[in-house]
Structure 1
């Protein structure tokens, strides 16, 4: 089946304001804090994944919703500049574009997000013709868009019926409920589940990330777990695969997991094995931390191949 796009990403797109690192705890009472740096960048898990995949040479479209405001225009322009098709990024006339402020401290971060259009995003924002015209469909930030989440299994099923492979990265759940029933409905339609180590434990209700990944994998998808500087591992068909992290002098780790997603998906679409796709994804995530923000440091396909060759890894 001919496909117009290699990848359709469904989900969130917003500006990120990244400031830090904080040297002391935040004090209210109109106290002013000075930090070393601040940047305004393209954010949202879906947007960062889409930008990373386009940087790797994939034909990428994004579907979601932004506001009719300067933040929405910033997002659309930033994605278009990176080669992402934004024709399905709907403009809401009433609600504002989401905004995220990220505070960094000691290698960790706090994330503050105003939902804006996220809660209003629905399945009608995802054109059926894009689902059927894409080789792979990836959904991000499941818990931020409850109306879309309720229909996501149906959307992924439609894509699969037209020959697509599928993946999802639920990201964090601000409510802390982790929606067991909704996730249970999502798993059979998801070829690859892409949580981080903390998220997979919450999703499965298990204390160990590997135990949690195995439990979720038994319910359908290959479960691919991002484990920070330890690299990544995957559970699929009763087997466990792993890839070591790469040494990196991180400027900013924001979006590294989304860059991993882009690399992993690109590698799988190129026909690499699950183990090699893990290594490729780890390289993409690790190389992305070279610059501030989620997209400025994202590598090209050749960047990744050079890195893998330098470390003695055969990407074939």
Structure 2
């Protein structure tokens, strides 16, 4: 049985190894939010599969090879003839924070779940998994037809005992409008079991000013575990048992301080991967969050989304 199936987009990543905008020293890598989470979950011992669409070009071949090297099952990846993956570039500030520039409008991943065969493949991929993981970016790139197919597939999957983990990962530029983003994200939050959120995304989406307000925003959903990541501040977690209307009082978990932050790209993604791996291994919530904090703290000491294998713990 697969522990975790992640669905989303794998992209080429350009990140500078020197000055923030120095193209002459740009490093080419592979990344994408749910891909990053899949990699870090696999590195922490989870049995992971990935679902997406790629092209038949040399870079797509390298992506498949990288996934295989990380021990991630690629049976759910379809290659489309004559297509190429999307691209993004990271521009870092001196404090390690970053901005992104995307070239992804023709990405094959945008056509996931738009055919009956793709939907059937997705259902086969997830039917024996414990958790399906997706993000707001996954949702933002899909057309309405694919969103409907994804939602129905996940509802049927949950009816068989599966769990859904979700990070809203709100990127306004990817959405037609703020209202569209809220409607789609709320639709999928309603079937989410494990919510891995950030305070900034929740403020931008819903106007939440605190972790408690985030929990209140999602109290009417199916969420049983809700985690609010707050950068260098304590992680806040909320839980409830099946059938409970309200969350239990929040639990705060310290975030170890990192003296030198190089690049915060994939801080949240790596947190999610390490957390899900620990959770799947039966660790307690507090231990799982501590493992996730440790992983994210290691990742932000390096440039790019995927840190060297010997750098992550």
Q: TM-score scaled to structure 2, two decimals?
A: 0.83
Supply the distance in 2 between the matched residues of 1:263 and 1:219 (Cα, whole angstroms): 24
How far off is 1:18 after superposition?
Answer: 0.9
Say how many residue pairs are matched. 290
Which residue of 164, 167, 170 corresponds with 2:168?
Answer: 170
Task: Judge which range, 207-216 or 254-263, deviates more.
Answer: 207-216
Change (3 A) 1:152 1:201: farther
What SS does the corresponding residue of 1:282 show, helix, strand or coil?
A: helix
Q: Any residues of structure 2 matched to 1:223-242 within 5 Å, and which?
A: 223-237=226-240, 238=247, 239-242=249-252
Choose the corresponding residue for 2:5, options 8, 11, 28: 8
Aligned to 2:221, the other structure's residue is in SS state coil
Q: SS of 1:180's equivalent?
A: helix
Matched, 1:95 2:105: no
| Structure 2 CA distance for aligned equivalents of residues 199 and 122 of structure 1 | 26
Name the counterpart of 1:190.
192
Match of 2:256 among 240, 246, 256: 246
Mapped partners of 2:220, 2:309: distance in 1: 33
Question: Is 1:121–1:145's contact at 8 Å kept on the other side of the alignment?
Answer: no
CA contact (8 A) 1:242 1:278 kept: no
2:273 match: 262
Q: Distance in 2 between matches of 1:214 and 1:189?
A: 16
Match of 1:307 in 2: none
1:7-86 pair list within 5 angstroms: 7-19=4-16, 22=19, 34=22, 38-86=26-74
CA change 1:200–1:133 in 2 (3 A) is same
Structure 2: distance between partners of 1:195 and 1:245: 15
Unaligned runs of 5+ in 1: 24-32, 305-316
Superposition TM-score, scaled by structure 1 size: 0.82
Render the CA deviation track for 1:191-222: whole Å, top value 9, x for unaligned.
Answer: 11222211122333334344123321442213
Q: C-alpha separation between the residues in 1 aligned to 2:168 and 2:79?
A: 23
Alpha-carbon RMSD across the aligned residues, in angstroms, is 2.4
Q: Given that residues 140 and 181 in structure 2 are in contact (C-alpha distance below 8 angstroms), is that contact kept between their aligned partners in structure 1?
A: no
Could you report, residue by residue, the CA deviation over 1:276-306 in whole angstroms, capped at 9, with x for unpaired residues? 3222211121122233222224679xx74xx
Residue 135 of structure 1 is matched in structure 2 by 130
